[in-house]
Amino acid sequence: MGEVRAARPGTADDEAFKRELVQLIPHLRAFARTLCGDPAAADDLAQDAMMKAWDARASFQMGTNMKAWTFMILRNQFYSEKRRSWRQSQLDQEAAERTLVAVDDPEAPVALDELRQGLAMLPAEQREALILVGAGGFAYEEAADICGCAVGTVKSRVSRARRALHAILEGGDYDRDGASASDAMRSILADAERLSTVR
Amino acid sequence: MIEQSPPGERRKASSAALDEARLRQQAIGVRLRQMFDQVVNEDVPDEFLDILRQADSRSSENG
């Protein structure tokens, strides 16, 4: 991205850009939360990404997918910080465990812990692909753009992630207060059933 | 789980298993969206808008 400081005054374009960017903030926060450390670190990352997007607004074509564009910025920001300051080898597992277990809301459904722990056990690139496609609402093509890889690669990462996550939740390869894995899967199924009738 | 059973039954069993697997995958998908949406639905800290507002007025002045 570099330092693209478009010093245009508050034009109508800027206003439209800003409005759209503001609407994306909750999504940037959610994506950041899945990538990086605790919620505070995630918000720092989301803010950095937001400002990078703002600074680079001149290079954004209005009418194209701003969500995918900002997610790409956020992801690049995350990986370049990670390269700079963290030792690659330890990071993935540790950060993922911290992140995905960290819940800001004390009243968050406890049952989500199982999924967070399961996700934490996936390789980073699989986790990221699954989250973009499975939760972020991106098409495979968009996820491929965001991650800078081929569509087929995203597809195979997502499907491997799904299989692995299922196996983890089913097999109890994670550990949570002694609760058994089949309990976890049962509660996930029960919850999903309840949610799907609500929707 | 390799049992000796007539091909027809085996097929039935495997299609039931497939349905079951699909259901589970859907369940995980629902949960995944729920986890993500939980953060999406949080209130955005004021800081975000403050920073953006500051940047906006800075660029207006400089422009």
pLDDT (tens digit, 9 = 90+) per residue, A157-184?
Answer: 999 999 999 888 877 655 545 455 566 6
CA A48, CA A52: separation in Å to the nearest integer?
6
Q: Which of A9, A14, A115 sits opposite B35 (nearest CB)?
A: A115
Residue A22 has pLDDT above 60, yes or no: yes
Q: What is the pLDDT of residue B2?
A: 56
Higher pLDDT, A1 or A121: A121
Residues from chain B contacting residue A6 (CB–CB below 8 Å): 59
- Above pLDDT 70, what percent of chain A? 67
CA A60, CA A20: separation in Å to the nearest integer?
12
- Delineate the domains of chain A, giving CATH numbers in brackets: 1-108 (1.10.1740.10), 109-199 (1.10.10.10)
Cα–Cα distances in angstroms (integers) from residue A6 to residues A29, A60, A66, in the given order: 25, 11, 17
Structure tokens at A3: 């330092």
CA B50, CA B58: separation in Å to the nearest integer?
12
Ramachandran area for residue B52 (φ above 0: left; ψ -120 to 50: alpha; else beta): alpha
CA A126, CA A109: separation in Å to the nearest integer?
24
CA A118, CA A161: separation in Å to the nearest integer?
10
Higher pLDDT, A118 or A48: A48
Residue A100 has pLDDT above 60, yes or no: no
Q: What is the pLDDT of residue B33?
A: 92
Residue A110 has pLDDT above 50, yes or no: no
Residue ranges of chain B with pLDDT lower than 70? Answer: 1-7, 61-63
A-chain residue closest to B29, CA distance: A134
Structure tokens at A16: 């439209």
Whether residues A43 and B45 touch (CB distance < 8 A) is answered with yes
Whether residues A165 and B28 touch (CB distance < 8 A) is answered with yes
Residues from chain B contacting residue A165 (CB–CB below 8 Å): 28
For chain A, give the mean pLDDT: 80
Residues from chain A contacting residue B37 (CB–CB below 8 Å): 30, 135
Q: What is the pLDDT of residue A95?
A: 58
Residues from chain B contacting residue A158 (CB–CB below 8 Å): none
- CA angle at B13 for the pair B7 and B14, rounded to the nearest 5°: 90
pTM of the model as a whole: 0.75
CA A6, CA B38: separation in Å to the nearest integer?
34
Whether residues B31 and A27 touch (CB distance < 8 A) is answered with no
